[in-house]
Structure 1
């Protein structure tokens, strides 16, 4: 179960990593994919990665359906 899903839309908008718990997930979307966080529990929107020609390892990519599933299963969603 995911406690909080953090949707990161801009590269400079990472929340303070101290507030990210073990059961929280960061999802990089839009231009947020241009900067990768220094934590392990993050993913990037596959469609945004492809559109911008960025290389991110396949295991870190989620498509829209997978992102929606995580959002539906989470307790809270925060958009940065």
Structure 2
């Protein structure tokens, strides 16, 4: 189970020190997708990347449907 689901719209304002890499998931959405994540447990919203013409590996892409499911399953959701 995911402890905290972080939905990050803009990386410049977000501190990754807040993330528990063992139990949390970070998903870059909106303009956050302009940077491809390299950390374990970090993903990109597939549709937001496509809208901006950015190609991301399928292994780090999450669809709106997958993100919605994670929102339901997470203990806590934080939008940054």
Q: TM-score, normalised by structure 2?
A: 0.89
Equivalent positions of 1:31-50 (< 5 A) are 31-50=31-50
Contact 2:37–2:43 (8 Å) recurs in 1: no
Structure 1 runs, 4 residues or longer, greater than 3 Å off: none
Q: Is 34-43 or 68-77 further displaced after alignment? A: 34-43
Q: CA RMSD in A?
A: 1.3
Contact 1:14–1:37 (8 Å) recurs in 2: no
Is residue 76 from structure 1 mapped to residue 76 from structure 2 by the alignment?
yes
Matched with 1:19 is 18
Matched with 2:9 is 9
**Runs of 5+ consecutive residues of structure 1 not aligned to the other structure:** none
| Residue correspondences, number | 79
